[in-house]
Amino acid sequence: MIGFIVSWLKTMHSEELDRILWRHLASLPYFRGFLRAIEDRFIQEIAIETPVLDLGSGDGHFASVAFKKKLDVGLDPWREPTLEARDRGAYGLLVLGEGGQIPFGDETFNTITSISVLEHIQEVAPVLSEVARVLAPGGRFVFCVPNHRFPQALSGRKFLEKLGLTGLGASYSRMFNRIARHVHTDSPEVWETRLFEAGLDLLETWDYFPPQALRVLEWGHPLGLPSLISKKLFGRWVLIPKRWNLAIPWRWTRKYMDDPRSSEGVCSFFIARRPA
């Protein structure tokens, strides 16, 4: 049975949490930056042993701000985000490729990271098998995903259910997951089984991002339209990265940085290991 194993996480100083949140809010739509900042917070507590493969490197933003040094390899199937990641210079090597066919030899990496990626992949079993193959014995797989509470906790769904529109509420969740490109919103127990079947041992897991934080993220999607326009016109999500310009999103999000872990959290973080 999975339990919360979080005692090793230290309390961060307020100034450090401010820095983590700002480096995401200042360069991303606030709802995306909010969640990435919390995941960044956890990454700062985890020893990352090189060489490192970042599975689902995307546009490279997270790696460019969350890690103190370049990661060895970024792997992603999409060309345009990979070109953006190249410009950010966050990786020693960038590779276009699928997670189900990682183009590296057995036992190549000591750490594999995957930040909010696996939920978008239809067939995750081949990906986890490949992760196990390219991890060195004793190597760790660090990843996070939305969990089974995510679709249930959406405020739009809860509102419709209060009106007795249960079916419409479920449709709202499906629509939101399509917008977010979520294929999987599964429980930690499901992920533990998948890891075991791939030959990986689950070392630690915890849930984070409480339902109140999800509401802030949820309504950020329609409120993020100006960021999308800015990106299309100027190539930047945030045109004016100043505290006065982002004062409202800062106020909405900062309080969740202190301790985003929650027994009702709608996302789950995992550290797994290939047996030595």
In sequence order, what DSSP letters do the residues of 127-184 get, joined into one string? HHHHHHHHEEEEEEEEEEEE-THHHHH-HHHHHHHHTT-HHHHHHHHHHHHHHTT-S-
- State the pLDDT at residue 223: 76
pTM, rounded to two decimals = 0.93
The label of the residue with tokens 């509401």 reads 215
Q: Where residue 4 falls among pLDDT bands split at 50, 70, 90?
A: very low
Cβ neighbours of residue 114 under 8 Å, at least 6 residues apart? 54, 55, 56, 141, 142, 143, 144
pLDDT in tens, 251-269: 999 999 999 999 999 999 9
Strands 52-55 and 267-273 come out as unpaired
- CATH code: domain of residue 131: 3.40.50.150
Residue type for position 37: A
Q: Where residue 9 falls among pLDDT bands split at 50, 70, 90?
A: low
CA angle 181, 187, 191 (to 5 degrees): 85
* Nearest residue to 144 via CA among 228, 45, 30: 45
Q: Assess whether pLDDT exceeds 90 at residue 220.
A: no
pLDDT in tens, 79-121: 999 999 999 999 999 999 999 999 999 999 999 999 999 999 9
Q: Assess whether pLDDT exceeds 70 at residue 60.
A: yes
| 39 lies in the same domain as 128 | yes
| 164 lies in the same domain as 136 | no
- Contact (Cβ atoms closer than 8 angstroms) between residue 130 and residue 75: no
| 168 lies in the same domain as 206 | no
Helix (H) or strand (E) holding 204, with range, is: strand 201-208
| 166 lies in the same domain as 46 | no
Q: Assess whether pLDDT exceeds 80 at residue 1.
A: no
| 165 lies in the same domain as 110 | no
pLDDT in tens, 157-173: 999 999 999 999 999 99
